[in-house]
């Protein structure tokens, strides 16, 4: 498998075997980290519908505005607290790198996730 076939989230699997299955709705993320990684992949793929569907109903915006000039370059997960199969809440700290018009940027966030029923949702995040 070449680097271009790998999932955007950085896991050593194809997109369809990794985040793509969550984005396609054929499987639910089992952990907060899986949801966060799949949301990163959704930003790369410009999948607004998945981003909205995976956003917590209490904090979901009316729409997602994606910058057409933004090019995502990579994701690094720094830490994970709770957010496992048996948990109802969890946090994931990550750094996502991207470029806009040739200029590099970093998004460093501690994201909070909450499970409603059997499904994880992105609740909100604190930028670092």
- pLDDT tens profile 84-102: 999 999 999 999 999 999 9
Q: What is the pTM of this model?
A: 0.95
Query: Which of 22, 3, 24, 25 lies closest to 14, judged by CA?
Result: 3
Query: What does the pLDDT average to over 113-117?
Result: 97
pLDDT of residue 110: 98
Cβ neighbours of residue 58 closer than 8 Å, sequence gap 6 or more:
123
Whether the pLDDT of residue 114 is over 70: the answer is yes
pLDDT of residue 106: 97
Indicate the domain borders of the chain. Answer: 3-127
Whether the pLDDT of residue 4 is over 70: the answer is no
pLDDT of residue 32: 98
Q: For domain 3-127, is the CATH number 3.10.450.50? A: yes
Give the whole-angstrom CA distance, residue 88 versus residue 121. 10
pLDDT for 25-75, tens place per residue? 999 999 999 999 999 999 999 999 999 999 999 999 999 999 999 999 999
How confident is the prediction for the chain on average, in pLDDT?
Answer: 96
User: With pLDDT > 70 as the criterion, what percentage of the chain qualifies?
Assistant: 97
Whether the pLDDT of residue 3 is over 60: the answer is no
């Amino acid at each position: 498998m070449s680097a271009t076939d790998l999932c955007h989230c950085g896991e050593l699997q194809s997109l369809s075997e990794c985040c793509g299955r969550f984005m396609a709705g054929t499987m639910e993320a089992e952990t907060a980290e899986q949801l966060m990684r799949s949301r990163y992949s959704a930003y790369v793929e410009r999948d607004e519908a998945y981003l909205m569907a995976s956003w917590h109903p209490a904090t979901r915006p009316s729409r997602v505005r994606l910058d057409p000039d933004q090019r995502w370059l990579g994701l690094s997960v720094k830490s994970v607290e709770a957010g496992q199969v048996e948990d109802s809440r969890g946090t994931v700290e990550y750094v996502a790198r991207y470029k806009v018009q040739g200029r590099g940027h970093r998004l460093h966030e501690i994201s909070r996730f909450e499970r409603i029923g059997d499904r994880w949702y992105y609740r909100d995040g604190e930028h670092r």
